[in-house]
Amino acid sequence: MSAAKLLRIRACNRVELLYAGRICKKSCRLRAFVQDAEESQPPNRWLVTLIIVSLAQALGTGGISLVYPFLPLYIQTLRDAQFISPELLAGLVIGMPPLVASIAMPFWGRLADQYGRKKMVMRALFGASIVLLLMGFAETALALIALRALQGLTSGIISSSMALVAGETPRERIGFALGTLQVGLFGGAAIGPLVGGVLAERFGFQVPFLFTSAMLVLAGLLVTLGVRETYKPATDSRLSLSPLQMARAWRGILRTRGVKTVYALRFLNGFAQRSVMPIAPLFVMALIPGAMAAGASSYAGLVLTVSAVALTAGSFVFGWLGDKWGFRNVLILASLMAMTFYIPQALVSNVYQLLVLQALAGIAAGGVLSAPAAMLAKYTDLGDEGSVYGLDASVTSFSNGMAPMTASVIAAMFGLRAVFAAVAIYYLAILLIGAQLLPKSKRKIFRFSVGAAAGS
């Protein structure tokens, strides 16, 4: 090989190396730029996520609750409904989703920790939109009940939203964030039944299902396009979906100080909040004169709406107070207030007294709802939010399914007014368990003893 040719080859190699070095530098600069951009997210990004998820949850829960006013009537119009009693049909079609969800929720929570919480919110919203759309075209009662069971299987809007927000929010703002999330939850749940009743009355039973499906799709698009999740799913064996690995992980979660107590509080709170719903129309009808009996359903709807709106306001206010006072203190105060306002409801003589007491009790109930949720977030290790809130959703779903049945038995055995006394007892149990078993807050706003609460 000639010397000239060898020099040309060496020159070409130097040019190639120089060019490759420049490309490498540019690539490194680009990666650094992207990394800096990801790390320099605005400090209030969590607030944007909170607003979007709260709005999506309002649309989602509003859409799902939209069908409750007419669902027991709709199922009686379907084929084979005449072979089953109306009471049993109503119980099955209302109670099936939470009972099935109580089994499915922990698995969805586990998947949230493995694949991301945003994906689970999207799955729940888009999945529910498909199932509820199909309900509008059900031809038999059994088909509708099966679809309701499928709805419970694909559910998880609330738990996945809570896990997503809890994972994105600074620890010192957890109370405010989860309280705001409850505003979206109960705001939608308060408005949904009113809208559903009007739509069913004006356009028939099928249109509300179409409307609900559209609301859920819109909520899913909001989360898909508006939320940027910073959580990086883990890939270790700790997140295996095998039953043995999941059982070990859940056992570890339950060993965390305070978690089992919070789950017990959430279970009792589900009974306290859902017990009045099945007996409200009957109790209102018993309170109003015979000439006003035709408006019993309107008054019952007003009672439930007032309670839901008050609950929404209470969740927001007590969530904010919890960041300042400590959530144990807030739980004790709110449960004491709720118990105090539920006792006289067993003695009311007209609807207006019931409305006022339901509003006051609803505000207090908002604190009982938001405080344990915030405490659960504080007790949860980073990366385990999905599993923790999946178990939480399982507990609350089971109590939500059992509470109406238990209330019906109490009403049948002891009368309608006994249900309000039972709810007061539930709140008393929450107060005593929270005061004695929860880790004490460092913020001592007021002194409290279990003996004083029990009246000793």
Q: Is 14 exposed, middle or buried (0-12, 13-18, 19+ CB in 10 A)?
A: exposed
The reply to whether 182 and 285 lie within a common domain is no
Q: What SS3 string covers the chain?
A: CCHHHHHHHHHHHHHHHHHHHHHHHHHHHHHHHHHHHHHCCCCCHHHHHHHHHHHHHHHHHHHHHCCCCCHHHHHCCCECHHHCCHHHHHHHHHHHHHHHHHHHHHHHHHHHHHHCHHHHHHHHHHHHHHHHHHHCCCCEHHHHHHHHHHHHHCCCHHHHHHHHHHHHCCHHHHHHHHHHHHHHHHHHHHHHHHHHHHHHHHHCCHHHHHHHHHHHHHHHHHHHHHCCCCCCCCCCHHHCCCHHHHHHHHHHHHHCCCHHHHHHHHHHHHHHHHCCCCCHHHHHHHHCCHHHHHHHHHHHHHHHHHHHHHHHHHHHHHHHHHHHHCHHHHHHHHHHHHHHHHHHHHHCCCHHHHHHHHHHHHHHHHHHHHHHHHHHHHHCCCCCHHHHHHHHHHHHHHHHHHHHHHHHHHHHHHCCHHHHHHHHHHHHHHHHHHHHHCCCCCCCCCCCCHHHHCCC
Q: Cα separation of 129 and 311, whole Å?
A: 26
C-alpha span between 355 and 353 (Å, rounded):
5
For residues 415 and 377, membership in a common domain is answered with yes
The confidence band for 46, taking pLDDT boundaries of 50, 70 and 90, is confident
Confidence of residue 39 (pLDDT cuts 50, 70, 90): very low
Asked whether the beta carbons of 294 and 155 are under 8 A apart, the reply is: no
Task: Tell me if 262 is assigned to some domain.
Answer: yes
Does 160 map to a domain?
yes
pLDDT at 324: 83
Percent of the chain at pLDDT exceeding 70 = 75
| Residues 157, 50 share a domain | yes
Mark which of 228, 254, 284 sits at the end of a domain: 228
CATH of the domain at 143: 1.20.1250.20
Alpha carbon distance 287, 266 (integer Å): 31
Residue 98's pLDDT band, with cuts at 50, 70 and 90, is confident
Same domain membership, residue 399 and residue 283: yes
Claim to verify: residue 64 and residue 166 sit in the same structural domain: yes
| Distance separating alpha carbons of residues 345 and 320, to the nearest angstrom | 28
Residue range 332-357: mean pLDDT, rounded: 93
Residue 185 sits in the same domain as residue 254: no
Q: What is the band of 233 on the pLDDT scale with cuts at 50, 70, 90?
A: low
Specify the higher pLDDT residue, 86 or 192.
192
Q: What domain range includes position 370?
A: 246-456
Query: Does 311 share its domain with 392?
Result: yes
Q: Is residue 136 in a domain?
A: yes
- Does residue 268 fall inside a structural domain? yes
**Predicted pLDDT of residue 379:** 75
Same domain, 190 and 269: no
Mean pLDDT of 380-392: 68
In-domain check, residue 90: yes
pLDDT tens figures, 123-132:
999 999 999 9
Domain match, 197 and 256 both: no
Domain final residue, candidates 195, 228, 261: 228
Residue 117 lies in a domain: yes
Is residue 384 in some structural domain?
A: yes
- Check whether 237 has a pLDDT greater than 90: no
Same domain, 80 and 210: yes
Model pLDDT, residue 143: 92
Which range among 262-266, 275-279, 445-449 has the greatest average pLDDT? 262-266
Average pLDDT over residues 218-238: 77
Give the chain's domain count. Answer: 2
Q: Is residue 92 located within the same domain as residue 130?
A: yes
Q: Where does the pLDDT of residue 217 fall: very low under 50, low under 70, confident under 90, or very high at 90 and above?
A: very high
> What is the pLDDT, as a whole number, of residue 441?
60
pLDDT(350) > 70: yes
Q: Which of 23-27, 93-97, 247-251, 285-289 has the lowest mean pLDDT?
A: 23-27
Q: What's the pLDDT at 291?
A: 40
Last residue of a domain, one of 179, 195, 228: 228
Assessment of whether the complete model's pTM goes beyond 0.75: no
Do 207 and 286 share a domain, yes or no? no
Domain-embedded: residue 17: no
* pLDDT of 41 above 60: no
